Structure 1
Amino acid sequence: MPFRETDPVSEPKILLFRPALLTALALVLGTAGCASVTRSQYAAPELPVAATWDQAAQGLPRTAGAPWWNAFGDPGLTTLVDQVLAANADLAAAGLRLKQAHLSAEQARQGLFPSGAASLSTDASKALQGGSAWSKSSAASLGVSWELDLFGRLGAAADAAQWEARASAQDLAETRLSLIATTAEAWWQLGYANEQITIGEQSLAYVRRALELVQRQYDAGAVSRLELRDAQQSVAAQESAQTQLVQARVSALKTIAALLDQQSYDGTELMVLPAQPLPEIAAGVPASLLSRRPDLAAADLRMRKTLATSDATAASYYPSFSLTGALGTASSSLLKFFSNPAASLGAALSLAELNPEKVRLGTGIARADYDIAVQDFRQTFYDALRDTQVSLSAREQYVKQGRFAQANYEAARDAEALYARQYRAGAIPLRDWLDAQERLRTARTGLIQNRYNQLVAQVAVYQALGGDPADATAP
């Protein structure tokens, strides 16, 4: 109860529970090394894999000293990537999750240190009868508590939170890497659509001129109605194809707008796919490059997190020991507020769970979580290995295919020119010329499609390896 003004001012009293304190200190000294009892040693899972992959002889593109997307020599792509990284909502959310994880880690770490609390109060009272004077009193207290981490529970929990924070940083890097790859693909989809639209307009103008020629011949009675209808059908088919290309362009623009967190995109457009050769190739692809993949790094860190969580669970079944201290004072006058302090120190030992079966189940569940995380890591690794092998193979095959596509286009172009001269000379029917035109359009479309596929495959290689293999700082 608060001290009254009539109470004599006394010297500060320190109330210590000496027997309990001595016992507690002896327990602390006797269990100082107990934290190691529940700490597990991390061992990386064995993942047998060749030092290099099957495609290692062909190697990988190397563009040291710059972000890997600059290797394509497209300033428009570089500008768009910068804009997306600055505006994308998914990336911003990943950044906020990282901030949240860091705060959680700091919060868990605070459990290793003493915590304090303070209170201050004042009140006044007066009897309803008798006309007595007001009685006033004030009180203040300051308390400190500290749980000693004898068996490592708090340390393991703090470690788990720290591993999660580091994994969240890798999640952010993975989101960024995926976002850059998606942006590049959308940019090239736009370029592919625009280039195809331009070629389609040229082809449409060409078949319309052919139709005018056939129409004049038909009006003069030189060709049959069948040839006229064939020419008309060719024009209609090309016009239909143009509408599909226009829709593909709209889809690409909407994708870019979504990446920029906008309703529409009205910026610079890529009109033609980059024609320069893909980045240079150097031999040798060490399998260790996979360690740079953010998703694989995150899986490894979360595996470590579950191990720490398992340790914390195991330690929670050991006794816990806490120290508490308090300093308080009460006075009838704020001027004498600190004249009557009292301090106390207490020690408490809390017994752990005494049900052996509950302990066994709890630790078993925690250990199973770790085993699951190990399997998740292994699967992520093999998925990464597969992605890399597939992307390397795809890049190699598309490069080979590109040479055949170029030869096919050149042959179709020359053949169409010959058919055109022969038709105008009356040596062949119209259908032969129209078929040659269609083969030329198909060959040209295939050439552009192959170029697009090569670019996308190149990005897939970068993404599979967590960035440019020559850049140690890449994502």
Structure 2
Amino acid sequence: MIQTPSRPAWRTILLLTPLVLSACMVGPDYKRPTAIISPKFKELRPAPGWQYAQPSLAAAQKGKWWTVYNDPLLNSLEERVAISNQNVAQYEAQYREARAAINSIRAELYPTLSGSLSFNRNSTGRGSRNASSGVLVNYGSGSTETSYTPSNTTETTYGMGPTASWDLDLWGAIRRQIQAQVTEAQATAADLANATLSYQIQLATAYFNLRYQDSLKDLLHRNVQFYERSLQITENQFQAGVADPTTVLQARTQLEQTRAQEIQTGITRAQYEHAIAVLAGETPADLNIAPGMLPRSIPAIPVSVPATLLQRRPDIAAAERRMEEYNAKIGAAIAAFYPDVKLTASYSYSGDPVGALVQVANRIWSLGAAATETIFEGGARTAAVHEANASYNAYTAAYRQTVLTALQNTEDQLSNLRILADQAAQQEIALAAANRAVSVSMNQYLAGTEIYTTVITAEVTALSNAETALAIQQSRIVDSVSLIGALGGGWDAAALPSKDSMQTDNPFLPSFIQKDRN
């Protein structure tokens, strides 16, 4: 039966317990710096064709933000990004790596316990008196000496027992490192969310750009049919002798040019389809998207006050978490100025034979404490603190810049959508006038009061206006997607894993560690 330490050993432990329980963490406690933010969005103003939702609805757009476009195919493609996109998978692995590192650092709070089992066989050589022979050596001087003969003694020693050491972390160096790693893991979780949102936005943008190419092809195809009828009219008039060959050639040239433009749309469409496949985690050969039209309506997107961006944008959350990480590293650097206190203990048995090894007579135990303090290191510790402070200041500036960039992105999309709504309304007026000019010029040509060049000019102008109107609609759809991304896509900082979820309560941890862990 293994014996417990004696009363003096337990007295030493009890004397050290108050010291351990009174341990603290040196360094500054984290307080989130204020961000540079405006009370409201400058560009959030009502405009024709753009309807803003009430700020109270800002929380309604959660998670699957792409469903506001009511497109089942887009919905299915977006669902694949978080599962199959390999860039997202890389960020997810980096998050798991950061989370695993927490336990690696946290293990330093526990005592290190090791066991040993040893076997030693020693041989010692020494001289012995040769009493049996009684031989005396007589030297010339008359003195005598008894002779010695060499001999060897061989001993076997067995040993076994545990040893333990424990860094008390009185000044919180280890706990500051844990705090830094926990917040780094939270930051990588926000990076993962930001990457997922970014690739989802890219996919939606590529999808609507593809639909623009489909709509453009449809527009050109309708004009091809119209120009085919115009060519037929000119050919009939030529055969009737009321039109010259130049008119027929002009009509045919216009028709063939438009056919070439229709074919050209396939180049860009194919590239967008390939990009969508990769974003969804598939090979381009495995994805075929049937033709479809660009949506005619723009969904109303809830927009609230700028301060909500601090909670709804994952890139801002990542920047904020890294501020706390580097704040904790300041404390770890300051802790290097204080003594490092460790407890050591060992309990073992040493003797022979093995069968009688575990006996009180063979027991060896020790309990000790040691404190080490660096007396001179040429200013390295001071430099480390200055470096940690500078890193914290750098990440504070990065956080504030991230907020400013988020405000800029949101203001850009709000102004784009407002101005594009005005432009779309004006373009519809111009398109209607251009279509009317085509009808009038064709009637005048048939009546013989205008040459066919007038008709061609009117038709080219009408097609150009129709393409412009379609391009404006494309920009409005894409900018609405960008606005959703600028607002965080419905993500919320509450989705970050909590500090508690990253660390498991352990009854063997001292109470001060449990208290300071959060």
CA-to-aligned-CA distance 1:274-328 (integer Å, 9 cap, x gap): 22x3333668535333432100110011011011112111212322111122233
Alignment deviations for residues 96-140 of structure 1 (CA, whole Å, 9 cap, x no partner) = 11111111112222222222223345578999xxxx9x9876543
The residue that corresponds to 1:79 in the other structure is 76
Which has the higher Rg, Structure 1 or Structure 2? 2
> Residues of 1 paired with 2:238 and 2:413: CA distance?
54
Structure 2 matches for 1:86-125, cutoff 5 A? 86-121=83-118
1:203 corresponding residue in structure 2: 223
Pairing 1:50–2:38 present:
yes
| Residues 287/56 of structure 1: CA separation in 2 closer, same or farther (3 Å cut) | farther
CA shift in 2, pair 1:118/1:34, >3 Å: closer
1:41 aligns with one of 25, 29, 36: 29
- The verdict on how the C-alpha distance between 1:28 and 1:40 changes in structure 2, with shifts beyond 3 A counting, is farther
Q: Could you tell me the percent identity over the aligned residues?
A: 25
2: CA distance, partners of 1:283 / 1:460: 13
**Separation in structure 2 between the aligned mates of residue 344 and residue 155 of structure 1, nearest angstrom:** 28
SS at 1:35's partner residue?
coil
Q: Distance in 1 between matches of 2:98 and 2:14?
A: 36
Deviation at 1:207, TM superposition (A): 2.3
Aligned-partner Cα distance in 1 for 2:328–2:219: 60
Aligned length: 455
Cα drift, residue 360 of structure 1 = 2.2
Counterpart amino acid of residue 184 in structure 2:
E
Match of 1:386 among 391, 408, 412: 408
Contact 1:151/1:318 (8 A) holds in 2? yes
- For 2:302 and 2:233, the matched residues in 1 are separated by 54
Q: Does residue 297 of structure 1 match 2:312?
A: no
Q: How far apart, CA to CA, are the structure 2 residues paired with 1:42 and 1:140?
A: 47
Query: Structure 2: which amino acid aligns with 1:451?
Result: Q
Q: Give the structure-2-normalised TM-score.
A: 0.78
Counterpart of 1:168 in structure 2 is: 188
- Return closer, same or farther for 1:216/1:474 CA change in 2, 3 Å cut-off: farther
Report the equivalent of 2:49.
none
Cα pair distance change 1:314/1:282, threshold 3 Å: closer
The question of 1:411 aligning with 2:433 is answered yes
Give 1:246 shift.
Answer: 0.5
SS at match of 2:293: coil
Q: Which residue of 1 aligns with 2:370?
A: 348
Which segments of 5 or more consecutive residues in structure 1 lack a partner in the other structure? 1-9
Query: Offset at 1:243?
Result: 3.3
CA contact (8 A) 1:12 1:342 kept: no
Find the aligned partners of 2:82 and 2:19 in 1 and give their Cα distance: 55
**1:65 Cα shift?**
6.4
**Conserved in 1, the CA contact under 8 Å of 2:37 and 2:403?**
no
Q: Could you tell me which runs of 5 or more consecutive residues in structure 2 were left unpaired when the two chains were aligned.
A: 47-51, 125-151, 497-518
Q: Does 292-301 or 261-270 show the bigger shift?
A: 261-270
Give a deviation string over 1:424-456, Cα, whole Å, max 9, x none: 333321111112222222222222222221111
Identify if the C-alpha distance between structure 1 residues 423 and 27 changes in structure 2 by more than 3 Å, giving closer, same or farther: same
How far apart, CA to CA, are the structure 1 residues paired with 2:288 and 2:357? Answer: 70
For residues 422 and 259 of structure 2, what CA distance do their matches in structure 1 show? 32
The 1:124–1:415 alpha-carbon spacing in structure 2 relative to 1, beyond 3 Å, is farther
Q: Aligned in 2, Cα 1:312/1:206: closer, same or farther, shift over 3 Å?
A: same
Shift of 1:189: 1.4
SS in 1 for 2:171: coil
Q: How far apart in 1 are the matches of 2:267 and 2:406?
A: 34
State the secondary structure of the residue aligned to 1:46: coil
1:416 alignment partner AA? V
Contact residue 76 and residue 270 of structure 1 kept, 8 A: no
- Aligned partners of 2:214 and 2:293 also within 8 Å: yes
Q: TM-score, normalised by structure 1?
A: 0.85
Checking the alignment, whether the CA contact within 8 Å between 2:27 and 2:334 is kept in structure 1 is no
Aligned equivalent of 2:509 = none
Amino acid at match of 1:158: I
Summarize the Cα distance change of 1:244–1:116 in structure 2 as closer, same or farther, 3 Å threshold.
Answer: farther
Superposed CA deviations along residues 38-62 of structure 1, whole A, max 9, x for unmatched, are 2203233333433211234444575
Contact 2:350 2:363 in 1 (8 A): yes
Letter in 2 for 1:272: M
- Within 1, Cα distance between the matches of 2:423 and 2:399? 36
Aligned to 1:6: none
Preserved contact between residue 13 and residue 341 of structure 1 (Cα < 8 Å): no
- Do 1:125 and 1:135's aligned partners in 2 also have CA atoms closer than 8 Å? yes
Are the counterparts in 1 of residues 311 and 493 from structure 2 also a CA contact under 8 Å?
no
